[in-house]
Amino acid sequence: MLDLAIVGAGPAGLLSAARCADAGLDVVVFEEHPAIGFPTHCTGVVSVEITEFAKVPDELVLGRVTRAKLTAPGGGQYDVRWDVEGGREEILVIDRGGFDRHLAGRAVADGARIELGARVDGIEVDRDAVVLSCGGRTLRARACVLACGVSYRFQRQLGLGLPASLVHTAQIEVPAEPADAVEMHFGRRVARNGFLWTVPVTRGHRQLLKVGVMASGDAGDHLRHFLASPRLRARLRAEPGTPHRRLLPLSPIAKTFSDRLVVVGDAGGFTKPMTGGGIFYSLLTASLAAEALVEGFAAGRLDEAFLARYEQRWQDRLGQELRVGGWLRQLVTKCTDAEIDALVRAIASNDVQEIIRRSARFNWHREIILAFVRQPGVTSAIFRSLFR
């Protein structure tokens, strides 16, 4: 019998594997795709804070973010700068597929095994083990980590619940003219209840543009319309291919632990509610899950009551962030385009820029959100949305 079975070889599953294998556990990761890092659904914008959990080799850095251009629904454009000064964290665009492969190498070096093309079809938890059905085989493990991304069939089956909030995303990478800023476009026609982004990257000597959207409804349709706009088409050096689509959770599932099992990363619904970014939360929850499991193996306790410490720990770190971000998102989705215009103008105002310069942190939004909503123009827009 295995010590630990991990379902999914994304960042959360691979970091869990590395931490637990390094502690001496017999760990196997089951990945349904034939290769690590494919398909890639993620833009890969991160802060250097992720080095708390994993190094990012220089060759995986595709760009650095120091400036964003915000386009409001009415067409107004505003600059927001994120210059690295006074100890402010650096924002990187990384090769997400390469990062996954880097983490896989670390997990294997620490003693974990990875099985590719190994789809787990069923999971049952009994008194003594977690029983997995995989490609006609039946496997038993003392514990299991669900790191299977946005496939929620196991969470439903095991009574753990589903994220209360989900949106659709679509993204593509295409050769383009060089650019010096990230762009964010807002408005109900551009991306209902979300936003559209472009991120310039460099692969070797090639200049490319990552173009993506998160929105309610058909994200692919929003993306197609934007890619067909004359302003963007003039910047592209090739015809766009087929975008990658996926669901994106914006709130955690109801319960992230049970007997012999914990849930991490996207599988647990861990993303930033306002932006959908998930890499840092995936690594953080994976680290906390591995810590709880290693403690459980040492104590001979893998029961639900013992593993509840995992949920308590992520709540201590992320609970207020998720609640405040989710609260603001609910209000903003009720705003009209005219009110979103006012919010975007407020973000670019001198007062808010000073708040950003003084206190903004890429992975921690609560403080900046609370400061932002106190601004006069923001307060009035948010107040009106409360009564819709």
| pLDDT, average across residues 326-351 | 89
This prediction has a pTM of 0.95
Per-residue confidence (pLDDT) for residue 369, from 0 to 100 = 87
Whether the pLDDT of residue 383 is over 70: the answer is: no
Query: How far is residue 379's CA from residue 216's CA, in Å, rounded to a whole number?
Result: 25
131 pLDDT more than 70 = yes
Is residue 335 a part of any domain in this protein? yes
Residue-level pLDDT at 39:
86
Structural domain includes residue 177: yes
Compute the chain's Rg from CA coordinates: 21
Q: Are residues 160 and 271 in the same domain?
A: yes
- Asked whether residue 114 falls in the same domain as residue 144, the answer is yes
- 17 CB-near residues (< 8 Å, 6+ apart): 4, 6, 27, 29, 107, 110, 112, 114
pLDDT above 80: residue 154 = yes
Do 242 and 377 lie in a common domain?
no
Residue 86's pLDDT band, with cuts at 50, 70 and 90, is low
Number of H helices and E strands in the chain, helices first, is 11, 18
- Tell me, what's the pLDDT at 386? 58
- pLDDT at 238 exceeding the cut of 60: yes
Q: Are residues 180 and 241 in the same domain?
A: yes
Tokens coding 373: 């909503």
Residues 244 and 265 in one domain: no
pLDDT for position 385: 64
Domain membership of residue 124 as a residue range: 2-44+96-164+250-318
Count of CB atoms situated within 10 Å of the CB of 174? 18
Q: What is the pLDDT of residue 348?
A: 85
Angle ∠(106,107,111) on CA atoms, nearest 5: 115
**139 shares its domain with 220:** no
Report the alpha-carbon distance of residue 243 to residue 158 in Å, rounded.
32
Residue 81 lies in a domain: no
Q: Is the pLDDT of residue 260 over 90?
A: yes
Instruction: Kindly state the average pLDDT of the residues 174-179.
Output: 96
pLDDT value, residue 87: 59
Which parts of 212-278 fold into alpha helices (H)? 219-227, 230-233
- pLDDT at residue 354, as a whole number: 83
What mean pLDDT do residues 92-110 have? 97
Q: How many domains does the chain have?
A: 3
Domain final residue, candidates 228, 248, 268: 248
Same domain, 110 and 123: yes
Residues 107 and 151 in one domain: yes
> Which pLDDT belongs to residue 376?
74
The model's confidence at residue 103, banded by pLDDT at 50, 70 and 90, is very high
pLDDT of residue 85: 63
CB distance 332 to 385 below 8 Å: yes
Please tell me the predicted confidence (pLDDT) of residue 378: 76
* 102 and 204, same domain (yes or no): no
Residue 135 lies in a domain: yes
Confidence of residue 214 (pLDDT cuts 50, 70, 90): very high
40: pLDDT confidence band, cut at 50, 70 and 90? confident
Average pLDDT over residues 333-359: 86
**Residue reference for tokens 């207020």:** 320
Does pLDDT of 363 surpass 80? yes
What CATH number should be reported for the domain holding residue 225? 3.30.9.10
Q: What's the CA gap between 275 and 369, in Å, rounded?
A: 13
Whether the Cβ atoms of residue 236 and residue 175 lie closer than 8 Å to each other: yes
Q: Which residue has the tokens 């795709």?
A: 33
For 92-106, what is the mean pLDDT? Answer: 97
pLDDT at 216: 95
Question: What residue ranges in 32-152 does DSSP mark as E strands?
Answer: 45-47, 61-65, 67-71, 77-81, 91-94, 113-116, 120-125, 130-134, 137-146
What is the pLDDT of the chain when averaged over all its residues? 93
Q: Average the pLDDT over 103-123 and give the result.
A: 98
End position of a domain, from candidates 200, 230, 248: 248
Q: Mean pLDDT throughout 251-265?
A: 98
For residue 387, pLDDT beyond 70: no
| CATH number of the domain where residue 139 is located | 3.50.50.60
CA angle 30/33/38 to nearest 5° reads: 120
Domain boundary among 294, 318, 342: 318
